[in-house]
Structure 1
Amino acid sequence: MRRLIPLITLILIISLTLASSASTEALPAENSHVSMWKVTNQNDTSQKNITYLLGSLSITDKSVFPLSTLLEKVYNECSRVIVETDMTKTTQDQTVTALLKYGLLSKTTIDKVLTKEQYTKADNLIKKYTQNKKSLAAYKSFMPWVIENLISGLAVSNSQSFLQDPVPSYFIAKAKKDGKSIVEIESPDTQLSRLSTMSYSLQGTLLENTIKAIEQESETVKNATALWKEGNVEGLDELYTFDKTAQTAVAQKTYESITKYLKSGGKYFVIADISMLTGKNGIINMLKEKGYKVEQQ
């Protein structure tokens, strides 16, 4: 039973963060640009067959709210909201079962799969953010992706200004309240399974990127939030070095979902991590190469 304690701690941190993010009320705001793209078939002038693609940041400053009135307008126009994963429909027991299935190391421990520098920095942050100064050794049986989620959740829950996945959480809560259909690109179980199949080296790199962001603390997150609200993708690319490798599978699924809805007719609102959208191998370029019309709003 003691092996469940770290996982339950992780789940509670994430749950509390999502709950606070989803409950934030968006009020009218005016921004000249947003991090959203309108995707249509090249020769379609009817304006009846549109997929809107909104890029989101996993960690933002609270100044992300109020959202642009354009985002609210587009949401209201669309019949479905498509997200990477809807964690709100998964119970705590289901999440515990999935984490035990996909988050445990086999025949090794965390100190053996992380570099010395990664281990030391992760250990320092866990001690910093836990009241009883718990060390990384307490989580020695868990994969690096679990440690990355734990540290991210701890940092957000201990911050006065950080929010975790606030934009997708907000629109998921809004869609449920409004009775709109919510479609997942992949289920929570599939997402955790995908994370567990990444090499330990890649998981360690993701952990390292999160540690760097947290060490730089509020200034970087504040800047990223401002750039996101302005729709300044180039600025975000300069601020963060997005790792596309970890997102390849879900990016492909997101691309396939967009093209499917463009063929089916209607208006759809897709929300995906902005790291999947930009760059040569990003979803936006994939759509353009296939002849779709993609316009930043």
Structure 2
Amino acid sequence: MFRVTAFLKNSVAAAAVFALSTVIAPSSGAQDAPDPALWKISDEDSNIYLFGTIHILDPSLKWRTAKLDKAFGASETVVFEAPADTTDQAKMQALVAKYGLSTDGSKLSDKVSPESLQLLDQTLQGFGMPAGASANFEPLRPWLVGLTVTALHVQSLGADPNAGVERVLAKGAAANGMTVEYLETDEQQMQIFSSMSPEAELFFLEDGLKQIQENPDMLDEMVALWRAGDVEGLDKLMVESLTTQPELYEAMLVKRNKDWVDQIEEMLAGNGNIFIAVGAAHLAGADSVQALLQSRGIAAVRQ
């Protein structure tokens, strides 16, 4: 689950927040010198920076660098995956109702095995919820249950959702008077999940429950690799393992990266300086944004 949600921005995580009124927030590791990865694409009248992000961070984590701030400060436009503002509760609740609730009268217990329900209850009890709390999830589709459990797990690590890279950069963009644009909408991101096959939805939920039990420190590992600029490590942790689930891999990464590359080509056809901030997993591996750009003869140079 942590691997999968690394590909999606706060808008989808917000669905989990509204589903159970929780807060998203992971922890951080040691405070050595940061060097998160940054790339630059240039032509005769354009500079486009690509920065891989982690959407949810500990507020005490130091991740900004001089080269990052220079690139951001030189840009007139910042482009995010999707809007990070989740203050429009009516909008988010409507999207949750449309995409996250079962509309055929079925319950969660009709779709998952007794063993998975038991594991869900055990996991929820670990967050301080009473036995049988999984009954609260009965109206939700498995994908939204999976995200909500992730939100609860991350909340238990004690950080602040406003410390995520996009939230921080969005504040900087407002202060600098930058134009803010998006590659996707909130609804498009929810549609990625809602269009899953029933089998993929169940895998998403069940794999996430297993990860919480078997590898609760995976988020810390992810953040440490990102902060160090270890793109190969991120590929192995978040991307390579997802390739064993072709449907999820195609929907979460490949299809979206191809669409984004189309948009980046359009940006290059214009002029000016643009800073693009997307989840770090999109900038790692054989199907990364940079690799797809390279296949079109466009070089993204590591800074």
TM tier relative to shorter chain:
0.7 to 0.9
Measured after TM superposition, the shift of residue 132 of structure 1 is 4.2
Measured after TM superposition, the shift of residue 30 of structure 1 is 4.9
Aligned position for 1:189: 187
Helix, strand or coil: the match of 1:152? helix
Equivalenced residue count is: 277
Aligned position for 2:250: 245
- The amino acid across from 1:78 in the alignment is S
Whole-Å separation in 1 of the counterparts to 2:128 and 2:199: 26
Aligned position for 1:26: none
Q: Deviations over 1:214-269 (max 9, x none)?
A: 33566432232221122111112223324522323332332222111111111111
Aligned position for 1:264: 270
- The amino acid across from 2:19 in the alignment is L
Is 1:135 equivalent to 2:133 in the alignment? yes
Measured after TM superposition, the shift of residue 117 of structure 1 is 4.8
Aligned position for 1:179: 177
Helix, strand or coil: the match of 2:158? coil
- The amino acid across from 1:234 in the alignment is E
Pick the aligned partner of 1:95 from 83, 89, 92. Answer: 92
Q: Relative to structure 1, is the Cα distance of residues 93 and 162 closer, same or farther in structure 2, using a 3 angstrom cutoff?
A: closer
Measured after TM superposition, the shift of residue 290 of structure 1 is 0.3
Q: Relative to structure 1, is the Cα distance of residues 199 and 183 closer, same or farther in structure 2, using a 3 angstrom cutoff?
A: same
Gaps of 5+ in 2: 1-14, 243-247
Measured after TM superposition, the shift of residue 72 of structure 1 is 1.7
Is 1:148 equivalent to 2:137 in the alignment? no
Q: Is the 8 A contact 2:100 2:141 kept in 1?
A: yes
Aligned position for 1:125: 123
Whole-Å separation in 1 of the counterparts to 2:114 and 2:175: 47
My pick for the range that moved more, 52-61 or 228-237, is 52-61
Aligned position for 1:296: 302
Q: Is the 8 A contact 1:61 1:221 kept in 2?
A: no
Helix, strand or coil: the match of 1:182? strand
Q: Relative to structure 1, is the Cα distance of residues 156 and 290 closer, same or farther in structure 2, using a 3 angstrom cutoff?
A: same
For residues 189-228 of structure 1, the aligned pairs below 5 Å read 189-215=187-213, 219-228=217-226
Q: Relative to structure 1, is the Cα distance of residues 212 and 174 closer, same or farther in structure 2, using a 3 angstrom cutoff?
A: farther
CA RMSD across the alignment: 3.1
Gaps of 5+ in 1: 1-5, 22-28
Q: Is the 8 A contact 1:63 1:225 kept in 2?
A: no
My pick for the range that moved more, 86-95 or 262-271, is 86-95
My pick for the range that moved more, 166-175 or 61-70, is 61-70
Helix, strand or coil: the match of 1:82? strand
Q: Is the 8 A contact 1:84 1:271 kept in 2?
A: yes
Q: Is the 8 A contact 1:11 1:95 kept in 2?
A: no
Q: Relative to structure 1, is the Cα distance of residues 151 and 162 closer, same or farther in structure 2, using a 3 angstrom cutoff?
A: farther
Whole-Å separation in 1 of the counterparts to 2:214 and 2:302: 30
Aligned position for 2:66: 69
Whole-Å separation in 2 of the counterparts to 1:149 and 1:282: 24
My pick for the range that moved more, 242-251 or 231-240, is 242-251
Q: Deviations over 1:14-66 (max 9, x none)?
A: 4xx48x99xxxxxxx954x43222123xxx3x4x4111111223455556424
- The amino acid across from 2:40 in the alignment is K
Q: Is the 8 A contact 2:72 2:275 kept in 1?
A: yes
Q: Relative to structure 1, is the Cα distance of residues 169 and 265 closer, same or farther in structure 2, using a 3 angstrom cutoff?
A: same
Helix, strand or coil: the match of 2:300? strand
Whole-Å separation in 2 of the counterparts to 1:138 and 1:67: 40
Helix, strand or coil: the match of 1:13? coil
Whole-Å separation in 1 of the counterparts to 2:36 and 2:16: 36
Aligned position for 1:38: 40
Whole-Å separation in 2 of the counterparts to 1:55 and 1:152: 21
- The amino acid across from 1:160 in the alignment is G
Q: Is the 8 A contact 1:78 1:267 kept in 2?
A: yes
Aligned position for 2:11: none
Helix, strand or coil: the match of 1:293? coil
Whole-Å separation in 1 of the counterparts to 2:182 and 2:141: 25
Percent of paired sites with the same residue: 21
Is 1:230 equivalent to 2:228 in the alignment? yes
